[in-house]
Structures are given as structure tokens and as C-alpha cells.
Amino acid sequence: MVEAAVATTDPSSVNAAAPWYADGLRFTCTQCGNCCSGAPGAVWFTPTEAEAMALAVGVSVDVFLDQYTRRLGARRSLKELKTKAGLDCVFLDRDSMPGKARCSIYKSRPSQCRTWPWWSEVLESPAAWEDTKQRTPCPGMGNGTLHSLVTITIGLSGSSPV
């Protein structure tokens, strides 16, 4: 059945369905921290990601959940700390590198963080991309490295594109 559908697909219709970012998008993280700060939000994570983050900070999963997360409905999110920049992720480090904001658990950060800005709501349309770029604000969106459709699609799948 699948083979028949593939065999009868009109090649011109494949291009018609290409997303608006088919030629790629430019993005380079500037370590501004804006995507990890601002208005109240949520950083969701899986149990496997909780284990990795707990290991990264050197505590048990139970201690990690108690000290670094909060319950939001039926789920848990990373805690936020009130700062002059707004509400920072509990793991956002603004002190160790002057002028930069870095993730203190970068290698163990959740998929939600690893895949920024390749989120479905951000890539919904050119207007959504521009709105996110302005609202966050993210100086890296639209600048720097040109990421291919493949890289963006991997990010959309929830996997780390790099």
C-alpha cells in the first residue's frame, strides 16, 4: 500500500508541500540568556532527562525534583528564579562569564532547551518566527549559521539538531 502511494506521488506536489523554511534558517546562539528568562514559563523534561540533570548537579533524582523543579498541574518544570532580567531558569548562570548567560547543565539540558528555536509554534509561519525573534528577543534568530531543512526537522522531532 505504501509503495503504491509513493509510486503515484506527483513530484511537483512534493515541492508544493515544502515548509516556508525549506531553504533553511539562520541561527547562532549569542548566549544572551533571553530564551531562558523573561515572563513565567515552563521547561518540561522527561524522567530520563531528570536523571541526567540530577547526575549533572550531583544529587539523587528525588533531591533534584525537590530542589530544582516545581509542579505545574500534573507535570514538573524546572524552577525559575526572580532576577533583574525577569524569571531565569534555575540553571541559567549569568555570573561565571561576564556579559554572557550560560546553562550550568548544558550537556544535560532537556530536549526543550536543546531544540530551541526549532519549535513547531516558532516555525508555524514567517510571522511566528519574526514574532518570537522580537518577543524573546533573540539576537541569534536570523543571524549566523544557516541551518538546513534537515537540521530544523530533526529539531522539530524533539531531538538535538547539533
- Specify the pTM: 0.84
At residue 60, the pLDDT reads: 98
Q: Is the dihedral of CA 80, 133, 49, 59 positive or negative?
A: negative
Q: What is the pLDDT of residues 34-70, one digit of tens each?
A: 999 998 999 999 999 999 999 999 999 999 999 999 9
Report the chain's mean pLDDT, rounded to a whole number: 90
C-alpha cell of residue 20: 516556508
pLDDT for 1 beyond 70: no
CB 25 within 8 Å of CB 152: yes
pLDDT for 159 beyond 90: no
3-state secondary structure of 124: coil
Kindly report which listed range (8-22, 85-99, 117-131, 143-157) carries the lowest average pLDDT score: 8-22
Give the Cα separation of 143 and 90 in Å (integer): 27
Give the Cα separation of 34 and 41 in Å (integer): 12
pLDDT band for 17, please (50, 70, 90 cuts).
confident
Cα distances from 63 to residues 5, 75, 88, 108, 142, in angstroms, run 52, 17, 20, 17, 39
pLDDT for 95 beyond 70: yes
Pairing of strands 80-83, 86-89: antiparallel
User: Which stretches of the chain are DSSP H helices?
Assistant: 2-7, 11-16, 47-57, 61-68, 111-114, 126-135, 149-156
Q: For residue 107, what is the DSSP state?
A: G
Bridge-partner residues for 88, per DSSP? 81
At residue 158, the pLDDT reads: 83
At residue 161, the pLDDT reads: 59
